[in-house]
Homo-oligomer: A and B are copies of this chain.
C-alpha cells in the first residue's frame, strides 16, 4: 500500500498510549476541511458510550473534522462515567486540533465493562495530534486493530468530471481474544465532493454487499461502526444521488467496502478457509440473504469446510431450517463447481469429491429455484484455535 493513497486534505496518525500492551492503540483521522459524514452503527441494544455520543453529534452537526479511535477498551456498560469519558476524549482532541468539540467523533474497541484509562488516553492526545501526517496510514491502521493478524487498508481512485477522486478505507477485524465481541470498525475517507443524500445512499448500498454480508460467529458487537467521511477537496462538481458520477463513486465504494469486509473474514480468529455462500433463485433479495446467512452461520457447515468434507446434507438442512420458502424437490447444491444435489436428491456422480473444499477459498452455491434474486454471504471455517482463543482467557 503506497502511503500517497490518502485522499486530499486528510492527515492521519497512530500512536501507543499504554491501554494495550506492546501495540499502537490510538488512531486519529483528521481532515483540514470539515467532512460530510455518513455512518452505520451496531443494531445491538447494548451500545457503547462513544456510539451513543457519535449518533447524537451526527444528528446535531453533520460536519466532522476528526475521528479518534482507541483500541483495548470498548467503553461499554460503563454508565454515566463512560459517557463523560467519551465526551472528554472528543473535547481534548478538539482542543488540541483547534476545532469544534461536536466535530470530533470517538470510537472505542476492546474490553467491555472497564472504565477508560483516561490519564493514558488524554496524556497521549498531544502526541497523537503532533504525529498527524500524510504518510501515517499504516500507523493509523495499526492503531485501530486488536488481535488482527494483519492491517486492513484498501484504496481506489477514479475520475469524475476531469478530477481524480480517491476513496481509502481502513478496518479492524474480528479478533476476539479479549471479550470485545468481534467488533468491526471501518473508516472510509474520500476527497469527493458529494451531497449528503448521495453519501448516505452510497454507504448504505455498499454495506449491504459487504459489512452486512459477512459473519464470523454470528455475534454482533456493541461497538460496530462504519464511517464514511467526504471533504470535497478533489474539487469535482458535487456528485448527486444519481447519474454517471454517482454510479462511478458507488462502484469504487463497493469495491473498497467489499475488499475490506473480505479481509475481516479472512482474518477471523483461527480461520483457515474463506467461504462464499451464494444463494440463487430466491423470490426476494431478503430471502436470498437469509438463506445464505443460515448456511454461513451453521457450525456443522463450518466444521465440514474445515475438514474438507463436501457435506451437502448439512447445507441442505441449514437452508431448510432458515425459514425461507422453497420447494425441497427442486433444490440444487453446487460445491466448488461440482453438482452434489439436483432436484432435491443427491447426485450420484461424486467423482470429483476429492477436489472439493480442498483449497483456501471455498464456494457454496445453492439454487432455491423459486425466483431470480441472489445474494452472497462471506464467512470462514471454525477451528480448535477459535475455541482456544475464546475460552482459555480470563478476565
Assess whether A217 is interfacial by the CB under 8 Å rule: yes
Assess whether A125 is interfacial by the CB under 8 Å rule: no
CB of A390 within 8 A of CB of B44, answer: no
A-side interface size class = 35 or more
Q: How far is the CB of A41 from chain B (nearest CB, A)?
A: 12
Assess whether A221 is interfacial by the CB under 8 Å rule: yes
Query: Which residue from chain B places its CB closest to the CB of A350 in the assembled complex?
Result: B395
CB of A179 within 8 A of CB of B311, answer: yes
Q: How far is the CB of A377 from chain B (nearest CB, A)?
A: 16
| Given A300-B390, A309-B395, A387-B387, also A314-B346 (CB < 8 A) | no
Q: How far is the CA of A353 from the CA of B317 in the complex (A)?
A: 40
Query: Which residue from chain B places its CB closest to the CB of A345 in the assembled complex?
Result: B79
CB of A307 within 8 A of CB of B394, answer: yes
Q: How far is the CB of A341 from chain B (nearest CB, A)?
A: 7
Q: How far is the CA of A111 from the CA of B386 in the complex (A)?
A: 27
CB of B304 within 8 A of CB of A113, answer: no
Choose the segment among A26-34, A139-147, A252-260, A319-327 that binds chain B (4+ C-beta atoms closer than 8 Å): A319-327
Q: Which 6 A-B pairs have the closest CB atoms?
A: A112-B313, A46-B320, A307-B391, A113-B346, A303-B390, A220-B321
18 of the cross-chain contacts (CB-CB < 8 Å) are: A45-B321, A46-B331, A77-B328, A77-B344, A77-B346, A78-B345, A78-B346, A113-B312, A113-B341, A179-B313, A181-B300, A217-B300, A218-B297, A221-B317, A222-B313, A299-B390, A303-B390, A308-B394
